Amino acid sequence: MTNWFRGSCVGIVLGAALLMTERAPIAQQPPAAAAPTCQPAGTPARGGQPGGGRAAQAPGGQGAQAPGQQGAQAPGQQGAQAQAGRAGARAGGGGGTPPPIQWAAPSLPDGPITVQSATPAHRNLRLVVTKGLFHPWGMAFLPDGGILITERPGCLRIVRNGVLDPKLVAGLPPISAQGLSGLMDIALHPRFAENKFVYLTYHKPNPAAAGVPPGPSAPPARFATLARGTWDGNALTNVRELFSADVTTEASRIVFGSDGMIYMSLGRSTEGANAPSQDPNNYGGKLLRLRDDGTVPPDNPFVGRAGFKPEIYTMGHRNQLGLAVNPSTGQIWATEQGPNGGDEVNIIQAGKNYGWPVISYGRSYPGPRVSEKPSQEGMEQPVVVWIPSIALSGETFYTGDKFPGWKNNLFVGGLRQGEVPRTGQLQRIEFNDKWEEVRREPLLRELGQRIRDVRQGPDGYLYVLTEENDAALIRIEPGDAASTR
């Protein structure tokens, strides 16, 4: 058992059986103890374990590190480096793949912090920092002003009035957290004011894998799952499983579309001729479309087609780490994290194939190109692409009134640029009236933090989650407007 797994949250039960077919309430974790910890008793203190790396940890990938752990390896990194070795030396490299750069992120000041933007009307920005999180993944804004935040190791937190509640939110189902598996995204039902429904994506333990040594013939250790619970003001109740994959998948996001349907991404970074992303009978590397009760809409593009999973809406994806509805068009835009190059923003269209790994602008982490062709007939092209990668994460379209000069700009998070630590950033992307890219502006690079998610709050401010052991929620507000030079 790895140190990372021993550092996972209270309530992870690898042998738990979750019966999906009867939609019975899931056996939930007991209420959290008074200590604000995501580890069982007797394990290292919160923040003492290195976290997982970028989505689909790959050869050379670096995990988040606690201060002073410059020489520490992220979980799974040794295996990733072995995979890089098996890939062989790069052509002309002479010495194989260079080792990853290890450099811990600096500690964030308590704040407020002042930074600047290139936009004259929004030149000075004020950052309000709420610390105490541990590898957060997603957030949802409650009508009473509270912010629910998922932590990947399997904990749900709440921030009220800018203060992180030291108690964990109770009611989560059993979660299997390792690497980039664990508690993923969170979303409120569009009619949350009426029904109080909260949706979660996470990886549940596979009972069939309990006690089975890892190997090519071993069953998947965990399955990506969508569940729905009811918020009672303090905890989740009546949590029910709505959908679960039957194969290994990676990172996951969810969003409600303008049609009221749930869109759920299931990542798969595997390269090669038999990549699951191109298999229509495999959930890996797909975007799913489901009703709010988890059933399949009859107008999904592959319903009734032999050899296709009916939940699939689009295919040919790597790891989609951001989903957002374009406020002008109603279309879903997805950020998709490439390997070493080839991060993408895609406009989602029913039944389309987005190419991974048949086409790609990226290189594998050891250096070779994923594909010699960046385009092919019958496969979609991105609307924005990054070379080198910034390790794309969450996204949001800005529609508020606090930053009128940023109306309809797309904000995306980045964990690091060009495989170099301390280069995490938020990027602001402007488009013309045809939604063609005009410019990009990197923001928050001076913080040296990996950015996991960005959302617009109901108050019109931007909220950012950092991806660190000692992580934070950052609220971006307009600063002093007196100096705009």
- Res 111: pLDDT: 85
Longest dimension (CA), the chain: 65
CA–CA separation, 219 and 225 (whole Å): 16
- Res 315: pLDDT: 98
Contact 443, 433 (CB under 8 A): no
Query: Cα(first)–Cα(last) distance of the chain, in Å?
Result: 55
The Cα-based distances of 313 to 133, 220, 285, 351 in angstroms read 34, 23, 11, 6
- Res 180: pLDDT: 82
Which residues are within 8 A (CB) of 458 and not within 5 positions of it... i.e. 6 or more apart?
141
Which stretches of 220-358 are assigned E, i.e. beta strand? 222-231, 236-244, 254-256, 262-266, 286-290, 312-314, 319-325, 332-337, 343-347
Structural tokens at position 138: 């997603």
Which residues are within 8 A (CB) of 135 and not within 5 positions of it... i.e. 6 or more apart?
51, 52, 64, 151, 152, 153, 452, 467, 468, 469, 471
Which among 265, 38, 42 is positioned nearest to 149, based on CA atoms?
Answer: 38
- Average pLDDT per 10 consecutive residues for the chain, totaling 485 residues: 36 33 46 40 35 33 31 35 34 64 95 96 97 98 98 98 97 93 97 98 96 92 98 98 97 98 97 95 98 98 98 98 98 97 97 98 93 96 97 98 97 97 98 97 98 98 97 96 50
Q: b/e string for 88-101 if b means 16 or more Cβ within 10 A?
A: eebeeeeeebeebe
Q: What global pTM score does this model have?
A: 0.84
For residue 25, the one-letter residue type is: P
DSSP-derived 3-state class of residue 276: helix
Which among 323, 325, 357, 362 is positioned nearest to 343, based on CA atoms?
Answer: 362
User: CB neighbours (10 Å) of residue 135?
Assistant: 30
